[in-house]
Amino acid sequence: MKLFGIFAAVLLSVAPLVQADSGGAGADRHYHALRPDAHAPIGVMGDHTHGEGEFMLSYRYMFMNMQGNRSGTSGVSTAEVLSQYMVSPTEMDMEMHMLGMMYAPADWFTFMTMVPIIDMTMDHKTRMGGSFRTSSSGLGDIRFTGLTRVYEGSGQRVHLNTGVSVPSGDTDVRDDTPAGADMVLPYPMQLGSGTVDLLPGITYLGQSGRISWGAQANGNIRTGRNDDGYSLGDEFSGTFWAAYQMSDAASFSFRNEYTNRGNIDGADSRLNPMMVPTADPGLRGGESYRFGFGLNFLVPEGALKGMRVAAEYLVPVYQDLDGPQLETDAVWVFGAQYSF
Ligand SMILES: [Cu+2]
């Protein structure tokens, strides 16, 4: 992750330099923004830029279902987890509502902000044979990102994503558990990181005929520790996709996504890692590889020109987790976007 930090710092520092190159290239074979597949599959954030003076409002709904535990690449039964811990998580559902706004003050720069509202539940079994559910909901960490176009030509675009996540999400969420009433919940049930996080990235888009494609690499680098004494692990993800434009209004896509998440540095002293694996800062990391299938729809003309709706389904095909840790079974993303 140190290396990735250096990579991010380089990206941030070259952004204004490379920008000077972006004017004028390939005006005859420009990238067509008004086609359904000009936006990436809806699970990809910060995938596109806008023309000067354009606004976009968006809403995304994400649902993630996690069932059963895994350690490394193999499943671990609830009974096995309970042989080591008093409590085992069995299932977690996460819903996220994401409100987004984009505005481009210039063709080469688009500003983006995303506000997440999160709703989570976690089900558990205890060694004594009981079961219980905890829940948490509220505002997550708000993100501000600048998208700087560094290349446009021959139906291709490249932009740099330079973002920051502010700690607006609560890290002191509490609920009742068998250990007591109103206890601080373990790490995965908290709504924010509690730290200022840097979000560097680079995005590539291409089109030719009815086919389009793209790739994006992203980091999430935590700075310092939060006031509960820890920082979440850094994250890195890389994704690439291809889409086929069926008509002026519809396209479908296939996507691959790799994500790597580190373990937690430090620890929240209010949690007991001997009790339940979700309270162990060393059991949060892992890597996963997902395959996604998506549909994009666009209103190409008329009163609602620029209105988009999209859906994507992602299924993990490989997960290697520092466990026991809940594994992801499926992710759904639905979105609506309107630019004007
Ligand atoms: Cu947009």
pLDDT digits (tens, 9 = 90+) for 149-173: 999 988 999 999 999 999 999 999 9
**pLDDT at 300 exceeding the cut of 70:** yes
What is the rounded CA–CA span in Å between residue 223 and residue 194?
10
Residue 297 Cα to ligand 1 middle (Å)? 14
Report the relative pairing of strands 74-76 and 87-106 from DSSP bridges: unpaired
b/e burial code for range 140-173 (CB count within 10 A of at least 16 → b)? bbbbebbbbbbbbbebbbbbbbbbbbebebbbeb
Residue 54 Cα to ligand 1 middle (Å)? 9
Residue 124 Cα to ligand 1 middle (Å)? 39
Residue 339 Cα to ligand 1 middle (Å)? 7
Residue 143 Cα to ligand 1 middle (Å)? 15
Of the candidates 259, 260, 312, which has an alpha carbon nearest to the alpha carbon of residue 290? 259
**pLDDT at 38 exceeding the cut of 70:** yes
What is the rounded CA–CA span in Å between residue 270 and residue 268?
5
Residue 178 Cα to ligand 1 middle (Å)? 45
Residue 48 Cα to ligand 1 middle (Å)? 6
Task: Kindly report each contact of residues 27-32 with a partner whose C-beta sits within 8 Å and lies 24 or more positions away, as own/partner.
Answer: 29/153, 29/154, 29/155, 30/152, 30/153, 30/155, 31/152, 31/155, 31/156, 31/157, 31/205, 31/207, 32/155, 32/207
Report residue 33's pLDDT band, with 50, 70 and 90 as the boundaries.
confident
- The pair of three-digit structure tokens given for residue 289, joined into one six-digit string: 């590889």
pLDDT value, residue 280: 97
Asked if 273 and 267 count as a contact pair (C-beta separation under 8 A), the reply is: yes
**Cα dihedral value 42, 45, 50, 56, nearest 10:** 70
Residue 66 Cα to ligand 1 middle (Å)? 30
Asked if 177 and 51 count as a contact pair (C-beta separation under 8 A), the reply is: no
Q: What is the mean pLDDT of residues 100-105?
A: 97
What is the rounded CA–CA span in Å between residue 193 and residue 232?
6
**pLDDT at 12 exceeding the cut of 50:** no
Report residue 10's pLDDT band, with 50, 70 and 90 as the boundaries.
very low
Residue 96 Cα to ligand 1 middle (Å)? 19
Residue 268 backbone dihedrals phi, psi, to 5 degrees:
-85, 115
pLDDT value, residue 30: 75
Residue 59 Cα to ligand 1 middle (Å)? 11
Residue 68 Cα to ligand 1 middle (Å)? 36
Residue 11 CA to chain centroid, in angstroms? 20
**pLDDT at 249 exceeding the cut of 60:** yes
Residue 223 Cα to ligand 1 middle (Å)? 28
Residue 103 Cα to ligand 1 middle (Å)? 8
Residue 97 Cα to ligand 1 middle (Å)? 17
Asked if 41 and 243 count as a contact pair (C-beta separation under 8 A), the reply is: yes
Residue 167 Cα to ligand 1 middle (Å)? 24
Q: Where are the domains of the chain?
A: 2-339
Residue 88 Cα to ligand 1 middle (Å)? 41
Classify domain 2-339 at the CATH superfamily level.
monomeric porin ompg (2.40.160.40)
Residue 338 Cα to ligand 1 middle (Å)? 8
pLDDT value, residue 7: 41
Residue 45 Cα to ligand 1 middle (Å)? 9
Residue 328 Cα to ligand 1 middle (Å)? 28
